[in-house]
Amino acid sequence: MTTKKIEVVIPPREPHFVGDGFRVHNFIPSAYRLDMQRMSPFIMLDYNSKFYFPPTDTPRGVGVHPHRGFETVTIAYKGKVAHHDSSGGGGIIGEGDVQWMTAASGVLHKEYHEENFSKQGGDFQMVQLWVNLPAKDKMSKPKYQAIENKNINRFILENKGGEIEVIAGEHKGINGAASTFTPVNMLNAKLNKGAKTDFSFPENHNSALLVIEGSIRVNEVEQVPTDHFVLFENDGESFTIEALENTVFLVLSGEPIQEPIAAQGPFVMNTKAEIIQAINDFNMGKFGFLED
């Protein structure tokens, strides 16, 4: 099997706030070489690196806003988020849980720090991804997959090297918890210091990883510190990772969706006309209603 080489290692950008509850570094689509087409089907990645929020009685977060044309995936590393949407979905996710919302034809939702977490304050660390949908599924019915950490299958490394949680797709024969519309692999790797492992994805997949905790060495040459993003080239199939300390990193790989992208704010469609339609539908209440 040929080696998938690193194309570029990207440091985190200056953080900005989404609402008042998410202090994020955006990687996709604003970082150099990480536009929506380059990392398709992953069209947005906001990373809330570990950040301490002091206690408050008014939960911080993002108020009601719409989405259409893609899925939002939230992976909680530290802290708790409560979520509600206009199709009646909702819930709370905490450390290790994943919330996979298929916005598709359209939902309104809001995301806030969970009440008790807000009252106590604490470290908060999350990844939010937007996964694009192919044209034929963009107007399908919204749905919601609440994936608790205990229901995520794991690949266990030998010699207490750690484990790889398979959120979606497949890894060494272990199947992912989430169902996806196009081929996507989403793996949460937790390796102990000194552990070595490898990952293998089809050549044409867009592949990347984000170091959440600790530091790693990729392909035996490139050392990558915390909060850095690694984009891989599209030739070669496998890469190796060595944990230089106890580490957590998120691995993404997906088959690119070869369709035009028209994006504006919270809508990602194929044409400008579909964006205008989405804005109009939102204004006219066709996404439903959700109390602020």
Partner 1 sequence: MESNFNTYLKEKAGVSADQFDRMKSKLLTKTIEKGQLILKSDQVCKHTFFVEKGLLRFYSIDEIGKEHLVQFAPENWFVSDRGSIYFNEPSAFFIDAIEETQVVMLDRNFIEFASEISPEFRNHNAFLLQNHIRMLQNRINLLIGASAEQRYLAFIKLYPDLMLRVPQWMIASYLGITPESLSRVRKELAKKNFTKQ
Are 274 and 41 in contact by the 8 Å Cβ rule? The answer is: no
Closest approach of Cβ 265 to partner 1, in Å? 5
By C-beta, is 223 or 280 nearer to partner 1?
280
Residue 138's closest CA among 14, 260, 292, 245?
260
Q: Is residue 280 a contact point for partner 1 (CB under 8 A)?
A: yes
Residue 213's closest CA among 254, 174, 247, 252?
247
Tell me the sheet residues that pair with 243. 216
Q: Is residue 276 a contact point for partner 1 (CB under 8 A)?
A: yes
Candidate segments 15-23, 161-169, 188-196, 281-289, binder of partner 1 by CB under 8 A: 281-289
CA distance 150 to 37: 33
Q: Which two tokens mark 292?
A: 């602020």
Q: Is residue 136 a contact point for partner 1 (CB under 8 A)?
A: no
Residue 256's closest CA among 33, 8, 43?
43
Closest approach of Cβ 89 to partner 1, in Å? 12
Kind and range of the H or E element at 118?
Answer: helix 115-120
Q: Which two tokens mark 4?
A: 């998938």
By C-beta, is 68 or 205 nearer to partner 1?
68
Q: Is residue 69 a contact point for partner 1 (CB under 8 A)?
A: no
Q: Is residue 14 a contact point for partner 1 (CB under 8 A)?
A: no
Tell me the sheet residues that pair with 224. 216
Residue 219's closest CA among 201, 202, 235, 196?
196
Closest approach of Cβ 143 to partner 1, in Å? 10
User: What track of x and - describes contact with partner 1 for positions 27 through 66 (by CB under 8 A)?
Assistant: --------------------------------------xx
The one among 223, 238, 264, 271 contacting partner 1 by CB under 8 A: 264
Candidate segments 10-18, 45-53, 116-124, 280-288, binder of partner 1 by CB under 8 A: 280-288
Q: Is residue 266 a contact point for partner 1 (CB under 8 A)?
A: yes
Q: Is residue 154 a contact point for partner 1 (CB under 8 A)?
A: no
Q: Is residue 265 a contact point for partner 1 (CB under 8 A)?
A: yes
Q: Is residue 271 a contact point for partner 1 (CB under 8 A)?
A: no
Residue 92's closest CA among 111, 106, 107, 66?
111
Tell me the sheet residues that pair with 75. 98, 127
CA distance 20 to 56: 12
Q: Is residue 142 a contact point for partner 1 (CB under 8 A)?
A: yes
CA distance 238 to 44: 24
By C-beta, is 142 or 254 nearer to partner 1?
142
What residues line the site for partner 1 (CB under 8 A)?
Answer: 65-66, 86-87, 105, 141-142, 264-266, 276, 279-280, 282-289, 291-292
